[in-house]
């Protein structure tokens, strides 16, 4: 039976089930969040087959989950979520985290209105492009000793703030306060250290970006007021990850963990799902290294935000504090976290894999800072560079997804397919006609990241909102885009 023949069972207009009977060996069903329109795109690749494959993982509980931005990835689909019960032999899989560990996004508000900057967007974009290193192999001005490199892997954003790249309030508005505990620098290879060297404060390439945006729609007046948001307000979004360090850690452990399948008598239909019990030496080693990469990524985005604030200062002639450039939140997209959930009436320690998925804690959750206890956790979902991005909040209903939501629009064309089918000059004219200024280190990146390569984020967010796993607060549209 091929992936195109998977017959999904409709639960409601926004949820679909892959029954355990689809493949012998599935320990749980698959659960896909989508509507009829998005399913047509989802059926175009092998992502649904990967959802079924993930259901083979030892210790997996409830469902193998897929968000509406799901598309084919390494082992897990991108947009996949799975939780394993640690005490019942639950595993951790590098393929369930991804190569760009803690690729994530942060959103900043400003006091600026569109009317204040509409004639200065080009200057701002060019200033940002000059000040923020971007592109494959880009290097920043932050030079670190070997001791400081290890400090970043342990302290994350807290190292950045302590060294003048931000303020204490930034940490309160970052998942895990920018530093997840348990990072083990000794579990990181020398090659990974070398690849991460000199890349702190760099944007990277591919789908990473820095955007100037404007709020063009408010959905909830009370929540918008709580976040200090209004129509026409200028926002800034930063999307980046752990750069070469995270990629190398994933590469090291995906190769080394294949032997664990035989060692621990684990049967999976795809070796890209190589895994080890969380409590095994191999599982603990990967978790410690992954946390290092996660902390590196949080420090990186903190430094990128610092550079962005300085760029706005130079371009507009006012201190960033006067411009009201405050962080709303920073969330990880590719990570595995140990979290407590109630499963069949029993509180369990679960290893929650979120690959291309965003944590979405509800109001009152103990992990949230006081300022978000009443609203719920900010959930940031960026779209492509010609459409929209969204701010939402987590909900109690998201417990069924282990408090997870989608992380973006999701690709419908590979980078290769986009390059073959999209004309750069036509694309640039289309963006210009929408008043969007784009600067990239390579023209090829613009084509690879064209709107036609992605699902429509508005459709994706409609599913997330209507399924009740996050609640819309506001929508932004891009004005200026920096690409690697």
Tens digit of each residue's pLDDT (9 = 90 or more) over 237-281: 999 999 889 999 999 999 999 999 999 999 999 999 999 999 999
The full DSSP string for 234-255 is EEEEEEE--HHHHHHHHHHHHH
Among the listed residues 71, 306, 353, 407, the single catalytic one is 407
Q: Write down the mean pLDDT value for the chain.
A: 93
Domain residues of the chain, as ranges?
A: 3-483
Assign domain 3-483 to a CATH class: alpha beta
Mean pLDDT, residues 412-416:
86
121-131 and 281-316 helices cross at what angle (nearest 10)? 130
Mean pLDDT, residues 35-45:
94
DSSP state of 199: -
CA distances from 453 to 4, 410, 449 (A): 21, 9, 6
**What does the alpha-carbon distance between residue 25 and residue 23 come to, in Å, rounded to a whole number?**
6
Which residues, 6+ apart, have CB-to-CB distance to 415 below 8 Å?
206, 448, 453
What pLDDT does 250 receive?
95
- The yes-or-no answer on residue 407 being catalytic is yes
The answer on pLDDT for 445 being more than 90 is: no
Binned at pLDDT 50, 70 and 90, residue 3 comes out as very low
First to last CA, the chain: 40
**What does the alpha-carbon distance between residue 368 and residue 341 come to, in Å, rounded to a whole number?**
16
- Write the Ramachandran bin of 420: left for phi over 0, alpha for psi from -120 to 50, otherwise beta: alpha
Instruction: State what percent of residues in the chain have pLDDT above 90.
Output: 81
Binned at pLDDT 50, 70 and 90, residue 141 comes out as low
What pLDDT does 413 receive?
86
């Amino acid at each position: 039976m091929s992936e195109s023949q998977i017959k999904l069972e409709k639960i409601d207009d926004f949820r679909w089930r892959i029954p355990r009977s689809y493949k012998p060996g599935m320990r749980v069903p698959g659960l896909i969040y989508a509507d009829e329109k998005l399913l047509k795109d989802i059926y175009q690749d092998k992502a649904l087959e990967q959802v079924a494959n993930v259901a083979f993982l030892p210790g997996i509980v409830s469902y193998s989950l897929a968000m509406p931005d799901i598309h084919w990835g390494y082992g897990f689909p991108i947009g996949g979520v799975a939780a394993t019960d640690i005490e019942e032999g639950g595993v951790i899989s590098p393929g369930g985290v991804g190569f760009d560990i803690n690729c994530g996004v942060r959103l900043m508000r400003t006091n600026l209105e569109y009317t204040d900057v509409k004639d200065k967007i080009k200057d701002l974009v060019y200033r940002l492009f000059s000040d923020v290193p971007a592109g494959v192999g880009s290097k920043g001005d932050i030079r670190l000793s070997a001791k400081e490199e290890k400090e970043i892997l342990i302290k994350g954003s807290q190292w950045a703030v302590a060294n003048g790249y931000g303020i204490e309030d930034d940490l309160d508005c970052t998942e895990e306060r920018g530093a997840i505990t348990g990072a083990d620098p000794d579990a990181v290879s020398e090659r990974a250290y070398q690849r991460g060297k000199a890349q702190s404060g760099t944007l990277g390439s591919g789908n990473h970006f820095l955007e100037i945006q404007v709020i063009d729609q408010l959905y909830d007046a009370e929540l918008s007021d709580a976040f200090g948001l209004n129509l026409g307000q200028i926002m800034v979004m930063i999307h980046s990850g752990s750069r070469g360090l995270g990629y190398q850690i994933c590469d090291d452990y995906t190769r080394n963990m294949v032997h664990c399948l035989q060692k621990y008598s684990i049967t999976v239909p795809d070796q890209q799902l190589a895994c080890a019990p969380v409590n095994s030496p191999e599982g603990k080693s990967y978790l410690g290294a992954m946390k290092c990469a996660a902390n590196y990524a949080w420090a990186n985005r903190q430094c990128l935000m610092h550079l962005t604030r300085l760029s706005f200062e130079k371009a507009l002639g006012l201190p960033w504090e006067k411009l009201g450039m405050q962080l709303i939140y920073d969330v990880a997209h590719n990570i595995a976290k140990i979290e407590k959930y109630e499963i069949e009436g029993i509180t369990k320690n679960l290893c929650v894999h979120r690959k291309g998925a965003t944590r979405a804690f509800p109001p009152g959750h103990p992990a949230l800072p006081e300022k978000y206890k009443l609203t719920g956790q900010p959930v940031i979902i960026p779209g492509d560079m010609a459409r929209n991005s969204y701010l939402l909040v987590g909900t109690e209903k998201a417990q069924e997804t282990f408090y997870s939501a989608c992380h973006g629009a999701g690709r419908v064309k590979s980078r290769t397919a986009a390059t073959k089918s999209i004309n750069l000059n036509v694309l640039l004219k289309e963006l210009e006609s929408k008043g969007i200024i784009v600067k990239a280190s390579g023209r090829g990146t613009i084509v690879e990241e064209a709107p036609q390569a992605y699902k429509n984020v508005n459709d994706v967010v409609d599913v997330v909102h209507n399924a009740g796993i996050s609640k819309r607060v506001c929508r932004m549209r891009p004005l200026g885009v920096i690409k690697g």
